[in-house]
Amino acid sequence: MRTEPNPRKNDDLKAQGPHATQHSRGVLLKRLWKYLGYNRLLLVLALFLSVTSSLFSLYGPKLSGQAINAIDLGKGAVDFPMVYRCVLLMAVFYLLSAILTYLLNAVMIRLSKKISKQMRHDIFENMARLPVSFYDRYQTGNIISIVTYDVDTVNQSMSSDLLQILQSVVTVLVSFVMMLTIAPKLVIIFLFTVPATALFTRWLANRVRPMFRKRSAKLGELNGFVEEMISGQKTIRAYGREDAVLERFEVKNQIAVDAYTMAEANGTVTGPAVTCINNISLTLVCVFGALLFLRGDILLGDLSSFVQYSRKFSGPINEVANIIAELQSAFAAAERVFGLIDAEPEKADSPDAQVLEQVDGQVSLDHVDFSYVPEKPIIKDFSMLAKPGSLTAIVGPTGAGKTTIINLLMRFYDVDGGAVRVDGHDIRDLTRDSLRRAYTMVLQDTWLFYGTIYENIAYGKPDATMEDVVRAAKAAKIHSYISRLPDGYNTILSDNGTSISKGQKQLLTIARAMLLDAHMLILDEATSNVDTRTEQQIQAAMRELMKDKTCFVIAHRLSTIRSANHILVMRDGQVVEQGTHESLMAQEGFYHELYQAQFETV
């Protein structure tokens, strides 16, 4: 819903997106693990396949060492049966490991997709409960970036990085045990190299994580800007602002690229550094292993096996170090995702809230005060009374507080002082659902979804028959246009109805409102997109349809509200005049000035 200018809605705040709570890695992993827990069977299967495939693969070096030991270098004799047996077992084990790894990848892909689906479900479920003020503050493109890019980033990490870490843990543990059984003395080398690797990767992870957090934020800002510019292409071209928009895009694009480059450049330092440490450890293993062999403390086959296990032991550490950057990116994305999931929903109705039933339609605002921010009041000591079945028009210059009144009537925002009442009930004592169902709204900003014209008109009343929809369309003066379409009411509308004019879209939303049997109607400049003749026809049809129902109309074109029972003239958040059109014109006050200004000729 369009709102009055809000001091909080500045570009910086809109670009930031929902505030991402900066959790520790442990907290993020715990929350991500919760999503894994939703699919325990797949998780257990993945763990089994990972451990089993790793064990099959890790027994190969042991067999190769036995095959080498089967060669007696002094006598030049070879125990061929032992060699053949070891080679056959190695082939079988490696084949089984490959098959199990393939199955593991398939399971992890399915598991990650389920996690992605559940995560998007949780995001959208919470978004449906967020207050209107949330969407007033944050950029649509940035929110879309979280739902798509950030969720995919987390999903990719959980499907590939998590699998890699899981296999690495098994490989490191088994390799370490095997090395202990072969040559405990050589294992001492890793008591120095492994801590050095761990300390370095931890230091670098703490350094690059804020960089990846900034990268996600800047990408979201860029997406938000692109979304705004795409939706405003006609305006941009009409004002010849293509070059200016391109310049702004280049600036934002460069900022996003710089943030990406900085994060990736620092993140990729981990891999080469850890590789260097592992190569040093391998060199030490070869040197001291050769000395042990010369002393007769280790067989050549066992030394070969130890070297292979040392590579398998160091390899996963190196691989984990290489994905540290990806994990930091995933953590930054997870913070934004959980920031949206944790966004505070609209306050729940009080336990003793009443359901609004048998609505008469009397609406009153008693000494209402309201502000979007405390130091900048929008509405000050405002009172009004709309009797059942009356038509109340709210007029005034931009920023006077007209649409804010509608926000308060629908309880999109709560008043700071005073009270809004329907049939004598303070709306804070009513359930929001019953209150909002008592109204039908037609806004200046039309919204149509992908579907047939019938489905769009019947949106608020899914059980409506075709006859009901046709009757509403005729009342809204859109039936003849629909009848000329090849598929009539079954015509598909797509991309918010871009294939039809704004006036036709407005008429469809008016028909949608006419279909509902609500006791109160809100028109927020609802006829601004139609021509004067059609507007007069709609006004007549609307008055007949909404007979004995309370109506609120916001309009800049004062000629459309001359028949209103009551006109409220707002200026700077206060009602400066009120009465009928004739009485206000007779006063020759502010309303008279507004009315005459619309018909002045220069």
CA 131 to chain centre: 15
- Which pLDDT belongs to residue 358? 83
Q: 522 is in which domain, residue-wise?
A: 363-597
Task: Please choose, from the candidates 546, 536, 450, 562, the residue with its C-alpha nearest in 3D space to the C-alpha of residue 496.
Answer: 450
The average confidence (pLDDT) of the chain is 78
60 dihedral zone (left: phi>0; alpha: psi -120 to 50; beta): alpha
- Residues 552, 558 contacting (CB under 8 angstroms): no
346 assigned to some structural domain = no
| H/E stretch holding 394 | strand 391-395
| H/E stretch holding 297 | none
Query: Two tokens at 475?
Result: 């009342």
User: Whats the size of the chain, residue-wise?
Assistant: 602
201 and 311 fall within a common domain:
yes
pLDDT band at 564 (very low <50, low <70, confident <90, very high): confident
Task: Tell me the H-state helices in 188-323.
Answer: 190-231, 233-238, 242-267, 270-294, 300-322
332 and 398 fall within a common domain:
no
Residue 171 has pLDDT above 60, yes or no: yes
401 assigned to some structural domain = yes
403 and 308 fall within a common domain:
no
544 and 483 fall within a common domain:
yes
> Percentage of the chain surpassing pLDDT 70?
84
Residue 392, beta-bridge partner list: 552, 566
Please tell me which residue, 6 or 187, carries the higher pLDDT value.
187
- Which pLDDT belongs to residue 324? 66
Cβ-based neighbours of 123, under 8 Å, separated by 6 or more? 146, 147, 151, 337, 340, 341
- Residues 165, 40 contacting (CB under 8 angstroms): no
At CB < 8 A and 24+ separation, what contacts does 566-569 make?
566/386, 566/390, 566/391, 566/392, 566/393, 567/392, 567/393, 567/394, 567/395, 567/591, 568/384, 568/392, 568/393, 568/394, 568/395, 569/395, 569/396, 569/594
Q: If you write DSSP's letter for every residue of 62-113 in order, what string do you get?
A: HHHHHHHHTEETTTTEE-HHHHHHHHHHHHHHHHHHHHHHHHHHHHHHHHHH
- Count how many domains the chain has: 2
16 assigned to some structural domain = no
161 and 262 fall within a common domain:
yes
Single out the residue in 341, 373, 400 at which a domain terminates: 341
pLDDT digits (tens, 9 = 90+) for 109-120: 888 888 888 888
240 and 291 fall within a common domain:
yes
Measure the CA–CA gap between 380 and 364, rounded to whole angstroms.
Answer: 15
328 and 370 fall within a common domain:
no
Task: Please choose, from the candidates 446, 448, 508, 454, the residue with its C-alpha nearest in 3D space to the C-alpha of residue 478.
Answer: 508
**For the chain, give me the number of helices (H) and strands (E)?**
25, 14
67 assigned to some structural domain = no
334 and 423 fall within a common domain:
no
Query: Two tokens at 231?
Result: 């939706």
577 and 443 fall within a common domain:
yes
84 assigned to some structural domain = no
Measure the CA–CA gap between 123 and 117, rounded to whole angstroms.
Answer: 10
Highest mean predicted confidence (pLDDT) among 4-13, 44-53, 316-325: 44-53
Please tell me which residue, 585 or 500, carries the higher pLDDT value.
585
The stretch 31-52 carries a mean pLDDT of 83
Measure the CA–CA gap between 345 and 363, rounded to whole angstroms.
Answer: 27
- Which pLDDT belongs to residue 74? 57
pLDDT band at 72 (very low <50, low <70, confident <90, very high): low
215 assigned to some structural domain = yes
Q: 212 exposed, middle or buried (CB, 10 Å; 0-12, 13-18, 19+)?
A: buried
Coil, strand or helix at 509: helix
Please tell me which residue, 126 or 206, carries the higher pLDDT value.
126
358 assigned to some structural domain = no
Assign residue 426 the CATH number of its domain: 3.40.50.300
314 assigned to some structural domain = yes
Q: 271 exposed, middle or buried (CB, 10 Å; 0-12, 13-18, 19+)?
A: middle
Let me know the angle formed at the C-alpha of 146 by 142 and 150, rounded to the nearest 5 degrees: 135
The stretch 447-469 carries a mean pLDDT of 85
pLDDT digits (tens, 9 = 90+) for 530-546: 666 666 666 666 666 66
Residue 140, beta-bridge partner list: none
Query: Two tokens at 495?
Result: 């991309």
Residue 439, beta-bridge partner list: 520
486 and 379 fall within a common domain:
yes
Task: Please choose, from the candidates 556, 569, 562, the residue with its C-alpha nearest in 3D space to the C-alpha of residue 525.
Answer: 556
Largest CA distance in the chain: 125
pLDDT digits (tens, 9 = 90+) for 512-525: 888 877 888 888 76
Coil, strand or helix at 566: strand
Q: If you write DSSP's letter for every residue of 263-289 in order, what string do you get?
A: HHHHHTTHHHHHHHHHHHHHHHHHHHH
Cβ-based neighbours of 105, under 8 Å, separated by 6 or more? 163
Residue 423 has pLDDT above 50, yes or no: yes
Phi, psi of 580 (to 5 degrees): -85, 170
Q: Which residue has the tokens 């690059």?
A: 208
- Residues 567, 580 contacting (CB under 8 angstroms): yes
543 and 513 fall within a common domain:
yes
Q: 294 exposed, middle or buried (CB, 10 Å; 0-12, 13-18, 19+)?
A: exposed
Assign residue 154 the CATH number of its domain: 1.20.1560.10
pLDDT band at 420 (very low <50, low <70, confident <90, very high): very high
DSSP 8-state code for residue 157 = I
539 and 460 fall within a common domain:
yes
Comparing 149-158, 527-536, 542-551, 555-564, the range with the smallest average pLDDT is: 527-536
